[in-house]
Amino acid sequence: MIHLYFVLRGRCSNTFNNCLFFRAQSLRMTDRILIIGAYGQIGTELTLALKRKYGPANVIATDIRVPDHLSDEDDSCLYLDVLNRRALDLAVHKYQITQIYLLAAILSVSGEQHPLKTWELNMQGLLNVLETAREHFIAKVFWPSSIAVFGHHAPKKPCPQHTVLQPSTVYGISKAAGEDWCQYYFNKFDVDVRSLRFPGLISATSLPGGGTTDYAVDIFHHALRNERYTCYLKASATLPMMYMADAVRAVLELMDTPAERITVRTSYNISGMSFTPAQLAAAIKKRIPGFKIAYQPDGRQSIAESWPTSIDDRFSRKDWGWSPAYDLESMTDQMLQELAHTMPTLPVR
């Protein structure tokens, strides 16, 4: 076992020459990854990508629910409640974790139904991970934020990286506060925590999970079942979106970026595409001509109206070379192709 000594401000104290030292327990050749919330909206696909990158033995996937059926690559999942700090510390110690990906959260729509529960999970869960990272000298932490941090007073098109944050939902409030905590732990304790403000995410693998942009996933399932879809947003409700393959790639690229190139320690704006429900329906109808949609806006419309319609992600592009691969047309093609393998389908043009 090789012991290393590093000089880092804020990590621990030593009276010798008033320097700050910590002792790393061992030098590992391979990172060990802990994923918390491995089978949620983002975690389902990110877990597979991390296992391919680091090897299944080096990725510890955890959740508070274990899926009934796992793919060949997803052959194990451990139970871990991020609100249980002792269990979190034990997992980090037992598996010699070097990176933590905290994906467990309650999203915008579900959060409005259970505001205090949402605050507890989203906020205390993050604080538990940050404290564990500080005490165990975790090399890197990833935590996703959201465009929900922006409120009615933020610029709509495009929304800049640095602007007023006055979120209208408890989910957005928890993410805005979490961004400040991430920056604080970096500035105060040198915890290398990195974050992305995700727009609405679209995936053929994970089902809608209680977010305002869930329609952009649900609509494909209805179309392929030859069912009329009733959208809870207005036909003209423009929102930023991203295909999940782009989102997963963005996480991997951000986490691989040298620390000295990371200039945003709250959360990076990131952009994929922007469209309305009517534009998405038209793209689907080009491929499934019989598809029909109706509009019955409900309370989710007011949440959507508080969010930007497009995102200025110039800092992501400049700092770590971000560029999305999918637009509306290519995302629609990919979604229909992927879903065709998992559910009965209509002929697609």
What distance in Å separates the CA atoms of residue 221 and residue 208, rounded to the nearest whole number? 11
For residue 259, give the CATH number of its domain.
Answer: 3.40.50.720
pLDDT in tens, 300-324: 999 999 999 999 999 999 999 999 9
Q: Establish how many alpha carbons lie within 13 A of residue 174's alpha carbon, considering only the half-sphere containing its beta carbon.
A: 26
Contacts of 110 (CB under 8 A, 6+ apart): 118, 209, 210
Burial class for 304, CB neighbours closer than 10 Å (0-12, 13-18, 19+): buried
Whether residues 185 and 307 share a domain: the answer is no
Query: Residue type for 252, please?
Result: L
Domain residue limits at 333: 202-241+272-340
Residue 158 domain-assigned (yes or no): yes
**How crowded is residue 80: how many other Cβ atoms within 10 Å of its Cβ?**
22
Cis peptide before 155 (omega within 30 of 0): no
The residues pairing with 41 across neighbouring beta strands, listed in sequence order, are: none
pTM of the predicted model as reported, rounded to 2 decimal places: 0.89
Whether residues 265 and 219 share a domain: the answer is no
Contacts of 196 (CB under 8 A, 6+ apart): 144, 145, 247, 250, 251, 254, 267, 268, 270, 316
Whether residues 173 and 225 share a domain: the answer is no
Residue 171 catalytic?
Answer: yes
pLDDT in tens, 44-73: 999 999 999 999 999 999 999 876 655 545
What rounded mean pLDDT belongs to the chain?
A: 89
Q: Considering only CA atoms, which of 325, 332, 328 is closest in space to residue 273?
A: 328
Helix, strand, or coil (residue 63): strand
Q: For 38, which DSSP code?
A: T
Alpha helices (H) along 23-146? 43-54, 85-94, 108-113, 115-119, 125-136
What distance in Å separates the CA atoms of residue 9 and residue 22, rounded to the nearest whole number? 10
Residue 10 domain-assigned (yes or no): no
pLDDT in tens, 75-94: 568 999 999 999 999 999 99
Identify the pLDDT of residue 68: 63
Catalytic one of 171, 185, 215, 229? 171
Model confidence at 5, pLDDT cuts 50, 70, 90, reads very low
pLDDT in tens, 262-289: 999 999 999 999 999 999 999 999 999 9
Q: Are 151 and 306 in contact (CB under 8 A)?
A: yes
What distance in Å separates the CA atoms of residue 175 and residue 146, rounded to the nearest whole number? 7
For residue 282, give the CATH number of its domain.
Answer: 3.90.25.10
Residue 348 domain-assigned (yes or no): no
Whether residues 177 and 278 share a domain: the answer is no
Whether residues 183 and 235 share a domain: the answer is no
User: Stretch 113-117: mean pLDDT, rounded?
Assistant: 95
Identify the pLDDT of residue 210: 76
Residue 21 domain-assigned (yes or no): no
